[in-house]
Chain A
Amino acid sequence: MSWAEWWWRLALVARIGEREHRAANPWRISLTTTWPRSLLQCLFFTVLGRVLGGEPGQAYAFIGSIAIVIALFTLGEMCDVPMRDRWSATFYRLRSGRIPVPMLYAVRAWPIVAEAALVGLCCTIVVGLLTGQGELTLQLLTLFPVYLLLVFTSAAAGLAAAAVGLFGRAGADVIIANLGLYLIIAASGALIPPGRLGWLDTLGAVLPMSHGLRAIRGQLAGQPWLIELLLEVVIGACWAAAGIVAYSVLVSRVRRTDHDKVT
């Protein structure tokens, strides 16, 4: 394929991804249910931080809550992208297509990635102002590019984990999506500071978002942050590589055996 044909095909995939996403989540539903849920979840964890640790606790939880809201989309909803092929029994058409499956899913997932970034931004502004943290909100807005990095690293992890949902038992996608979300809540340092539980820290080290959150907190506190940011990039790249390997292996297995659960 020429470059022009590649771009044309990928643009088509992106368009299909947008249509699929909007068919399942029309704007009126997103704006009246999904977005308010995200705002309220961010508000809940932020106020909970205040209950547990006063104003410092609130500020700590607010920074992490934005990441949790992003994960709602990039980990919670990402499984739906490949799962739609399982529900519609259309995977066999993808695996016989010319665009590699991992690339196809990555492009098709763009509306979820975009919505995660947009909702994360809204939560930063709305919840920050509602909880009287104007100064911190402004600081976080200047650091929002780091949150954008977290959107991509967590989306890579979400898409890689979704491979298990695609070929696992019925309902495996629900477990995978929720496991990812609750791991981010408990082990990424979003709400529980590092150093409280050794095994949580070990788990958090390989999760997306944990190093990025440390980088954000480091920047706010005037401490070194670049290494944590680079570690976040590395972790994101590792998850992306895991996703590419997982889908490639699955596709090759299905091609070899011509027998899969998703067709």
Chain B
Amino acid sequence: MKHRVTSALTLVAALFVLPFVATTASQAEPLRIEITDGVIEPLPFAVPDFVAENAAGSEFASQIARVVAEDLTGTGLFREIPKDAFISTVTNFNSPVQYADWKAINAQALIVGAVMVSGNNVTVKFRLFDVFSGAALGDGLQFGGTTTSWRRMAHKVADAAYSRITGEGAYFDSRVVYVSETGPKNDRKKRLAIMDYDGANVQFLTDSRSLVLAPRFSPTGDRVLYTSYESGFPKIYVLDVASVGRRALADQPGTMTFAPRFSPNGQTVVYSLSAGGNTDIYRMDIGGGAAVRLTSEPSIETAPSFSPDGKQIVFESDRSGNQQLYIMSANGGEARRISFGAGRYGTPVWSPRGDLIAFTKQNGGRFHIGVMRVDGSEERLLTGAFLDEGPSWSPNGRVIMFMRETAGAGGAVSLWSVDISGRNLRQIKTDGGASDPAWSPLLK
């Protein structure tokens, strides 16, 4: 009984004490502030020339640092601090970083690297530092290869730095296949070419005897689908990048096949087939076999593109009387329309992240490259020009490359890229005209 009374008294005491304590404790809470307004500007970084660890390495030490800097600056997310502003010099890869010197020039990231060349082999190593935190961002990395592939090693250094700072995948060690165009507009020669993502190392994959269109990389980057007018009618070919060997695909007499694209697993191809005045979407195994018809509308269905999981296909159709975007199952069936804005929509491409669809839009006498969510919401136009067309996603889904043609009889075609925010619109350097870009996955 006594115990019960004690417990009851304790409980009553607790009921009286607790509110008081709660009030007092609230006074000891930390100061709380919420920050919602920041700035969006390129992050300043410094890349001193890489340290040449032997005499032969000095040939590449500066060049590799330049490529790394250009890769990062080209994203629009970073700003290089010029060398003449440096206070510190880096002469030894293992020397402690003088953070105060880099802070003084507002370098927020610092890339220090070293190069060693022995014979035909080159070794590149680097470390990335967060200057204001005074610590390395991740461990150092080392790459080895031949001297002819030094640019790839520079791209890999930039890829690693980009990923560690931004927290997302990069795209510098990748290639682009496109249609190289020469000659006047009324007699233009077109052939397939491949280059590094930044326009370096151009190589031609076909000659200019026949018209070629719309090349598309396989998910592994070793094959290319494209359309050729070699026979006088459009026909799909698959080309091996390493050997430049090719073979016709979906070769059905009396039909025209075009707009091919690989499935995410690389085993299937979707394409458009035009026969009897009607164009529909078909699917076929890359090894051949029977074609499966996925659409059967009397309208024109073309430009199919798989979702990253391979379960859906986005395509363009004029079944509503106007060219719009639709999504259907990868096995065909009923499609749902996702574009409802003014104008005409075409050439949809599903983002490798799966969240966005890039497209070409024609409205009010201008062409735009834009993106929208998979359900058609949040449409954003990123560019606007006389003729912008054919978007292609970077491997990380952050950048879109496309073709731009200027007006007039002497209109020139060129490749451009833009960040999905709409910033950093820039032209890709190519020798001569270029159109129909297709971005490869990251190289292995």
Q: Do A and B come from one complex?
A: no
A binding-site residues for B, Cβ under 8 Å: none
- Measuring CB to CB, which residues of chain B are less than 8 angstroms from any residue of chain A? none
